[in-house]
Structure 1
Amino acid sequence: MAGVITPTAAYARDVSVTWWYTASSILFLHAFAAVTWTIGVFAEGTPTVLVLNLLGVAGSLASAVLLLVRYRREPLDDADVIARRPVWPLVVSGIVAAAAMGLSTGSLLLGVGFAAQTLCLVRWRAGVRVRLAVLSIVVIVAVWLIEVTRLQPQGYAQVFALPFFVALLPPLTATSLWWWDIVRELDRARRAEGRLAAAQERLRLAGDLHDLQGHHLQVIALQLELAEKMMTRDPEAAAQQVRAARVSVDDARRGTRDLAARFRGVPLPDELANAADLLRAAGLTVDLIVDVSADRAPADVLGPVVRESTTNVLKHGGGVSASLSLVRQDGAWVLVVENDSRAATVPVSDGAGLSGIAERVGALGGVMDATRLDDRFRLTVRVPEEVAA
């Protein structure tokens, strides 16, 4: 239903809000400390020193932004992420910018504090960030004491104000990102629990379907066998058994429809996640993009499309990668399933699967487009947003 926010969508929104709050807080503290210290350079520094300081502030802030962007995108459980991904250019840029800020202000504490914060913005292996934060506090305190000894007693006040704030940047950054990792881990656990619940429900439905069809098929077989034996001796009784078999067929069909209705109750995001897991289990590299409000998409329409498309990828693809995406665009839900294929010469056919998808979508005012681009096959399904979920 339009305008209704499901618990899953609300939780995903809350997780996103938590990230933006965390990142904006880190950047605000970073910018506040840098700009506040720069004010003193404007008042007392030469043009050369001022330019050096501004370059340092801009470079440090840009490095922090880019490191935070990378931090959110990196996986939680990849132990070799630092070794494999070129994060060090950003780290080096941030440290160089921090050094420029320290040189322009004549404060070793400023340079060390911002350099330590840059290191805290990296996704380290488990336990490294805590040790790094503790080490940075020790180093900053030592540098702080060195700067205090260079000041006259009347300068003590200024070294316990803004420098204290700068000294807190690394531990505050490490703590904030540690908290974000906990929130993200909880969100991942929630998603995994949802997929597991959906898988368990499917197994239960499969068992129910097996029992239902097995029972009815056995009854139908017995009724038809009895009708065959009675055909010559008592045609009327044989016809009665045939009619009973027909009733059993109707019962089986009705029971199957009821089970299918329960199966369609699986949320569409879980359908997509299960499809991605199935393709990954088959050895494909899968990219999955799901709109945060995908729970409001019509699962009765798009769910069968997802299952049919996944089957086609496994049966006819033969490639190594695939992508699934469901987004809301221009008043419609757009589902795109794309995969590479070694069988690039096979034409796009109007088989029963694609024809069934086209008919199902077209009946609701939607459209389906199946195209081949070089060695990639893309299926795009667009359904009006007002279609009931």
Structure 2
Amino acid sequence: MTERPGPSAAMSRPVVRRLRLARRIVIGSFAVAVVMIPVFNAASAVSVAANGHRSREVAVLGFLLSVLLGWQCLRMVHHRLRLRAARSESAFWSSLGLLLAVAACMDLEFLTLMTGGLWWSVAVLVAPRRRMAVVSVLLLALPWVRYATFDERDFWLMSVIWGITVVWAPIMLLANHAVLLLWDVANEAHAAREAQARLAVSEERLRFARDLHDLLGHSLSGVALKSELAARLVRRDPERAVAEMAEVQQVAREALREVRAVVSGYREVDLPAELAGIRAVLSAGGTRCTVTGVDADVTPEQGTTLAWVVREGATNVLRHSSARRCDITLVREERAVVAEIFNDGVRRGTEGVRYGNGLTGLTERVAAAGGTLSARPVPDGFLLRAVLPADPANPHPGRPRAEVDGSGVAA
């Protein structure tokens, strides 16, 4: 039988899947912004070549360098998401060098300034603040230094171009920072959930260890003392030694009985609590879960068996499907108690069900309770169905109990 998945194991697959999707969305958002770098510089290359400010070869070189610049910006984002500081440093300095080379090739073009703003909106998320403060001052001053070398100057036009770039860069920074912040929050939430799951497991282990210590500590101490006493009395007072060993045997049997009672208590499963936990785990994993019939009238033995059924069904949904919806239904009929776990995560065209250890063990458990278990694909998904006899004394739900007359013969 499949062991009960802890929160971490149960949620890892869907959560990791969503985190991968979030990561692709984040990189895609940055990629859309970064793609504008070669687009801007393609237009700048055409402009500087047409105006004769640079030769065609230099303009093409500037465009090719802008493609590399865009790639380095994506590397910075990638390493920032993976928290690789050393590689982020390498990407930062190489991209800064490429930016200055592109600016040298394209001269003081409006779209070249916009490229600098795009690079800054990405680099400020990676580099230390003091370094970015120095680089920001450098980038703000360089256009004016170049402007001072022009023979013909238009101060107002230059101010407008420079001002648009200065406004443009923080806007892109806010957009990039918002996307990156969502990524960080998702990762922190996932880490917190994993830590909470590990803490819950540790607390349960400590509780179990404490219970066993309290239970067996006194009994084993008594066994040790009495057996030691019996060993000393075996020659001097055999009858008393026999009495002491009989008491050792009695204490050992009592300890064994208590251990079995404790272990049985740990093995018991509460159906309503199991349903609530499964609904929470599935919802956290991105699967919408609805539970119907949680108040169904079942015996404690039936509740334990049904709890194992829904547990195994939820485990299979989490591990082996990409379900978006899971419906758990408990129905008490006239002669049977029925539990159905449906999910829509099975692809169409799937035929047959291969029973693993989980379903095989569950089938045996349900059969031991006098019921039947079936697992099969249905038109809209997959259905796990367990049927238990409503009357535990009648292990065949579809067959009435034989009436017995006064002579003891079945009627």
Between structure 1 and structure 2, the one with the greater Rg is: 2
Q: TM-score, normalised by structure 2?
A: 0.46
